[in-house]
Structure 1
Amino acid sequence: MTAIATDVRRPTEDRAIGVAPRQLPSWDYLEIGFCYARAVNDQYGLRLFANALIRKSQERQT
């Protein structure tokens, strides 16, 4: 399973097109995406998956 940046949209993208935000993928999926982005030195992917992991951790706390 590989994670690609199109699988995780930013919250602003959802608001821009007027749809409800999608639920974030599982922790494993986000961590794999982050590691893959790091391996290929994809700066956009690193930011995207890091922010998604932060949002996922905030979901747990609420």
Structure 2
Amino acid sequence: MEQFRGAQVIIVSHVEADPSTPGRCDSQYQAVRLMDSGLEPSILAKGGSCMTGPLDQKDFVGLFTW
């Protein structure tokens, strides 16, 4: 969870091995922020990374218009 401009932001991610290409994954993540009006999802980010673990603040806040 990340705190930014008064909003709490979480990341929801999904990583799945690509069976046609060893060592490659299909991955996607989406940030969700809690605003006074309720939950608001960001755009969906997609990639080919198999990595999981810590994310940079830009991953939490860069997918929104502030």
TM-score band by shorter chain is under 0.3
TM-score normalized by the length of structure 1? 0.23
Structure number having the greater helix percentage: 1
Structure number having the greater strand percentage: 2
The structure whose Rg is larger is: 2
Q: Structure with the greater relative contact order (CA < 8 A, sep ≥ 6): 1 or 2?
A: 1
TM-score normalized by the length of structure 2? 0.22
